[in-house]
Every structure is written in structure tokens, then in C-alpha cells.
């Protein structure tokens, strides 16, 4: 089993990674299930494919399973209200730990419910998508979406433990695997050119389910995220904002598609990263060959490399209007994550939104 520590003082925790660990979950979770019961929140797909493994492992404990609808629309006020009502009815106490078994949707919603239930109870992440294993289960960003945009209501609330079993990815649909891969390659693009090269060479193996490639991608991603989060837990120094590469564009595309299955989060991030690199090249910050290399890799793994591939026909002005709700907005200026090269991203606070709109309009015209 490989263990990646997330070092945050009294909020520190471990991320444990091992194929098959879901079947031995009881042993790993025992320190947090002191009252002899497990409250598991999951979604309908995960309940079908992976919940039986967790339940079998917890045989002998009192178990309560709350199954929510699958999909992004579950990150909503309505589902949050229904979930917190159920948790209150189960008399969850502050010292209890509830279990999020699912992808980023379940993890973000359950984490937020845990943050506000009785002003905060504990929670454990058992991520079941590639995206959740490499990104959303680590770092304590929890949230729901609102009509105004993505993740606009939420809290920083760290889990107490993260248990990653790469074998659960065997039942994940290929499209979801690809969406999660976007957040994997993001770590290479942010600050690790060597890992980007590894991605170019091994993406096909990873997406085909190779066990060794999975563990390498997950452990490298989690270690990269843990280092950034340990340094800038609440995105105040600017370092954590790097994890938002592709997200200012991507969240606008997600908003434009109504947070629906038309464009998955990771697909929006992929298109957004290609746009961030091309915009960097347009501004003379990075070589256009780097932007083309990024786009070529995304196309090679069947991820969208821009607006047209993401199915977006909206004007630049419309997309920029979505960006005005971005949480990186400060005193009327929106920080963008741009790149000097592959593996060398940075936060740019000098971007003019009118220029971004013009760039996006040019992108649409040239596609
Ligand atoms: N908190 C963070 O730091 C962070 C980071 C990245 C993304 N996110 C958020 O995560 C969300 C996206 O997460 P996601 O891509 O995991 O989506 P998701 O949770 O909707 O899961 C994707 C789909 O896969 C199904 N599924 C999950 N595990 C499965 C399995 N093992 N086998 C079969 N089906 C399975 C789900 O039911 C769902 O239909 C977005 O809301 C995004 O904003 C948060
Ligand atoms: O952990 C972070 O920090 C990230 O930015 C990771 C992102 O992949 C993730 O999608 C996150 O939820 C986006 O955060 P937001 O602050 O832009 O809503
Ligand atoms: Zn993301």
C-alpha cells in the first residue's frame, strides 16, 4: 500500500492507495467508526457497481446507506437539504465520520454536508472515479453548484482519511475515465514536464486499465496535489490557484451547457487547458508549439481541445460573462492560470476580459 500524507497541522491525513483495498475497508476505516456504525453516501451507479464490496467488508457493523441520483445536478441545494435532513435523522454527531463513496459529485456534496452539519462533523473519502482519485478527494474543497455558477456555495473542510482502490475503475465508463485523465495530465502541465512526457507515453496504457500505470498516475497526482495543498490550503498565497489551470475557461463551458452530461467537468477542463495554452501563446507568453503539443495529446486521448470539440458555439462575451462569478475574481480583476511552457504554469492578474472574449471569438471563427 502506498501512503501519501497531506500535511496540514491538526488537519493532516493520509491518502492510502492500493488495488483491492475496498475489500479490506473495515480494517482501514476502524479508527473512525468508533460507534460501531457506518453511514455511507453514494450514488445510484456506484451503489450498483461498488457498494456491495464495501458493505461486505463492513459486515458486522450497523450500516446505513444513502443513495443519491448520479450526475452533476446532484451538487444542488435540494440534494444538500435532503442529505442533511437524513443525516440529522440518523443523529450524526460532531465526532462521527460519514463516508463518501463515489466520484467528485458525491465527494464534494458529502464533504460540504459534513462541513455544515452541526457546524462540522468528520468524513472519509472513498473515491471511485479516476477524477476523484487524483483530485477531488484530496484537499478539502467541498461545494455545490448554483444557478450563478460552479462550486459557488461551499467550504474548505478536509477529510480525515482517503482510501483509494484503483480496481474500482474497472467498472467506470470510458468517457468518465477520459474526463478524469484531464485532471491527471493537468499536473504535468502545471509543473512537471517529465510527468507530461510520461502521460504522452503511457496514456493509452492507463486508459486501457493497466494496473501499474494506474497506480503511478494516481500516486504522482495525489503527491503533487498534497504538496500544493500543504503549502496553500485555502488558495490565499496563489500556489493552489495553479490547480485551477483550465478551470476558468472550463467552468464557463460547463455553465454554458447547464452543468449537464453534455460536457463533463474533466472534458471542460481539457478544453479549458488547451484554450489556456493557446491564449498564452497569443499573448506571446509561451511557444505556439507547446500549445499545439498539448492540444495534440488531448485529441489523442479523445478529449476536447477547444470550443468546437467541446460543442460550444456561444460568443466570447457570453463565456466571459460566466467567468465574472469565478472565485479567483478580486477587486474586479480575474486571475488566469496561464503558461510559459509545458510544466511551467503561473497566475496572471493582468488579463483583460475583453481580450479573452476577442480570443474566444477568434477561436470560434477559426474552427
Ligand atoms: N473538490 C475538488 O477539489 C474537485 C476537484 C475536481 C473536480 N471536482 C468536482 O468533481 C465533479 C466531477 O467528479 P466526477 O468526474 O468523479 O463525476 P461523478 O461523481 O459524476 O462520477 C461520474 C460518473 O461515474 C459514475 N461512477 C462513479 N464511480 C463509478 C465506478 N467505479 N463504476 C461505475 N460508475 C461509476 C457516477 O455514478 C457518475 O455517473 C465535478 O462536480 C467537479 O467540480 C472537485
Ligand atoms: O483543488 C483545487 O484547488 C482545484 O482547483 C482542483 C480542481 O480540479 C477542482 O475542479 C476544484 O473544485 C475547482 O475549484 P474552484 O475553486 O475553481 O471551484
Ligand atoms: Zn477540476
Model confidence at 34, in pLDDT bands (50, 70, 90)?
Answer: confident
Predicted pLDDT of residue 91: 97
Nearest ligand to the CA of 108 is 1
Q: Which fold has domain 2-171?
A: Rossmann fold (3.40.50)
Please tell me the residue having the least CA distance from ligand 1 atom 5.
Answer: 136
Q: Over the stretch 48-72, which tens digit does the pLDDT of each residue have?
A: 999 999 999 999 999 999 999 999 9
Q: Is the CB of 141 under 6 A from ligand 1?
A: yes
pLDDT above 90 as % of the chain? 95
Question: What average pLDDT is seen over the chain?
Answer: 97
Buried b (16+ CB within 10 A) or exposed e, 165-190: bbbbbeebeeebbbbbbbbbbbbbbb
Q: Which helix (H) or strand (E) holds 169?
A: none
pLDDT higher than threshold 90 for residue 257? yes
Least Cα distance to 168 among 54, 28, 13, 2 occurs for 54
DSSP string, 308-341: TTTT----HHHHHHHHTT-TTEETTEE-EEEEEE
Which listed residue (27, 91, 119, 365) is catalytic?
Answer: 119
Mean pLDDT, to the nearest integer, of 19-29?
A: 97
| Integer Cα distance of 257 and 274 in angstroms | 18
Residue extents of the structural domains in the chain: 2-171, 174-366
Least Cα distance to 283 among 222, 364, 359 occurs for 359
Buried b (16+ CB within 10 A) or exposed e, 32-70: bbeeeebbbbbbebbbeebbebbbebbeeeeebebbbeb
The answer to pTM > 0.90 is: yes
Q: Over the stretch 292-330, which tens digit does the pLDDT of each residue have?
A: 999 999 999 999 999 999 999 999 999 999 999 899 988
Mean pLDDT, to the nearest integer, of 193-217?
A: 98
Please tell me the residue having the least CA distance from ligand 1 atom 11.
Answer: 104
Least Cα distance to 37 among 59, 62, 54 occurs for 62
Mean pLDDT, to the nearest integer, of 99-126?
A: 98
Model confidence at 367, in pLDDT bands (50, 70, 90)?
Answer: confident
Q: Give the Cα-Cα-Cα angle 320, 288, 344 (nearest 5 degrees).
A: 80
Q: Is the CB of 46 under 6 A from ligand 1?
A: yes
Specify whether 141 is catalytic: yes
CA torsion angle 273 333 356 76 (round to 10): 60
CATH superfamily membership of 174-366: Dehydroquinate synthase-like - alpha domain (1.20.1090.10)
Amino acid at each position: 500500500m502506498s501512503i501519501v500524507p497531506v500535511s496540514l497541522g491538526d488537519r493532516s491525513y493520509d491518502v492510502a492507495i492500493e488495488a483491492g483495498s475496498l475489500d479490506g475497508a473495515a480494517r482501514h476505516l476502524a479508527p473512525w467508526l468508533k460507534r460501531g456504525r457506518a453511514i455511507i453516501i453514494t450514488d445510484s451507479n456506484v451503489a450498483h457497481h461498488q457498494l456491495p464490496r464495501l458493505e461486505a467488508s463492513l459486515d458486522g457493523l450497523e450500516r446505513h446507506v444513502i443513495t443519491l441520483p448520479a450526475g452533476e445536478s446532484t451538487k444542488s441545494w435540494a440534494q444538500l437539504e435532503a442529505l442533511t435532513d437524513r443525516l440529522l435523522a440518523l443523529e450524526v454527531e460532531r465526532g462521527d465520520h460519514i463516508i463518501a463513496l463515489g466520484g467528485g459529485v458525491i465527494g464534494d456534496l458529502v464533504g460540504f454536508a459534513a462541513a455544515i452539519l452541526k457546524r462540522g462533523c468528520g468524513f472519509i473519502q472513498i473515491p471511485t472515479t479516476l477524477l476523484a482519485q487524483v483530485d477531488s478527494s484530496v484537499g478539502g474543497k467541498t461545494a455545490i453548484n448554483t444557478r450563478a455558477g460552479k462550486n459557488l456555495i461551499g467550504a474548505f473542510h478536509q477529510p480525515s482519511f482517503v482510501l483509494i482502490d484503483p480496481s474500482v475503475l474497472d467498472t467506470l465508463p470510458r468517457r468518465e475515465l477520459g474526463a478524469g485523465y484531464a485532471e491527471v495530465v493537468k499536473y504535468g502541465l502545471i509543473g512537471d514536464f517529465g510527468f507530461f512526457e510520461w502521460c504522452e507515453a503511457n496514456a493509452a496504457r492507463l486508459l486501457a486499465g493497466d494496473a501499474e500505470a494506474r497506480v503511478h498516475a494516481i500516486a504522482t497526482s495525489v503527491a503533487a496535489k498534497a504538496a500544493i495543498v500543504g503549502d496553500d490550503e485555502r488558495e490565499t498565497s496563489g500556489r493552489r490557484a495553479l490547480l485551477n489551470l483550465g478551470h476558468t475557461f472550463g467552468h464557463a463551458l460547463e455553465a454554458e451547457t447547464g452543468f449537464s452530461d453534455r460536457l463533463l467537468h474533466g472534458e471542460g477542463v481539457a478544453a479549458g487547458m488547451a484554450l489556456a495554452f493557446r491564449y498564452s501563446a497569443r499573448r506571446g507568453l509561451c511557444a505556439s508549439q507547446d500549445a499545439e503539443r498539448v492540444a495534440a495529446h488531448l485529441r489523442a486521448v479523445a478529449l476536447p481541445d477547444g470550443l468546437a470539440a467541446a460543442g460550444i458555439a456561444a460568443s466570447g462575451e457570453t463565456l466571459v460573462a460566466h467567468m465574472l462569478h469565478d472565485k479567483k475574481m478580486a477587486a474586479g480583476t480575474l486571475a488566469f492560470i496561464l503558461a510559459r511552457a509545458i510544466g511551467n504554469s503561473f497566475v496572471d492578474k493582468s488579463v483583460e476580459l475583453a481580450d479573452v472574449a476577442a480570443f474566444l471569438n477568434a477561436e470560434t471563427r477559426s474552427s
